[in-house]
Structure 1
Amino acid sequence: MPPNVDVRVRRTKTAILIVGEGPTEKAFLQYLQEIYISREADVAVKIECGSGGSPQCVVEKTMHLRDNRAYDRCAVVLDAHIPLKPDRELKKLMKKRPPVEIILISPCIEGLFLTILQHPNFSRNRASVQQCKHEFEAHYLSDVQKTDKHSYGRIFPRHLLDSCRGSIRELDTIFKAMQV
């Protein structure tokens, strides 16, 4: 082989599918992907929207997306206020390789946001979904802004997310699913 030939070895990236329950989850996940995962990373993360509906519908859509491509890992981010009640067949399909990891956010994604931001007098244990949505939209991002990944940079700088990772289980679980 001539000495001047550039031989590049192509590395295989770990392919990860993460499906957010709705457009707010998708936008936030895309924001995290943008600030934490570079092109040079050993992972390729695909973020999709489950389009709302019941948790079962979102999981079924996740499995459909998973089965159409060769993903190494698969997760779905769901609000915990509506319980996921998979039947026997759905449970069996969820265990298919790669298994679908369920990440439950209690009570909802806006509750997670308010916890990260340490919103005054806020307790996720006592807050309803409606209270979380109202507080977040009134003080931080409107309903329209929540679906734009660029809106999150203003309120969630990387250093804030890094500092909260160890103390907020759901945030840490999302990062682990992304292999960050």
Structure 2
Amino acid sequence: LRRAGLVCSAKAKRLRAEGLGAQLHGADEEVVNWFLRRWPDIRASDALEVCATEYACQGLELDLVGLAWGGDFVRAGDRWQARRLSGARWNVVGQAETRRHLRNTYRVLLTRARYETLILVPRGDPQDETRPPAEAEALAEYLLACGVPLLGNDEAAGAKAEARLL
């Protein structure tokens, strides 16, 4: 039986608007339960209720990983932009070391799966300045251009995917 679980950046604070606010942060009993328990135990990664952050999952793997991409690392034109949520707005990270740390966070998260990684790029909300749809679309388009396939895209039927699930 393969193991599945959700992961996200510890700095991806606006994922809570998508129902992904519960996070595992460090090496404690909750993390042990998340990795070792099996569904129907609600503490297990298979329950898909809690995202493990880079701190909880570094050095550990699951068979299938759902990566919830946060607004802390987005595309800005032709480059990556690291950001930190301060109050109700994102601030661009200026320190090079902090930018490298955030880039490494997503490298860690993208390499936690043995077999498959599914990337969720939330659509955003035009009413929420911390989740602009244009940023989500730019990220999704970039990932598609890199060869990440779009799930749920039924070209034969001419259907347009509502959610940007990659």
TM-score band by shorter chain is 0.3 to 0.5
| Richer in helix (by share) | 1
When normalised by structure 1's length, the TM-score is 0.34
User: Which protein has the larger Cα radius of gyration, Structure 1 or Structure 2?
Assistant: 1
| Richer in strand (by share) | 2
When normalised by structure 2's length, the TM-score is 0.36
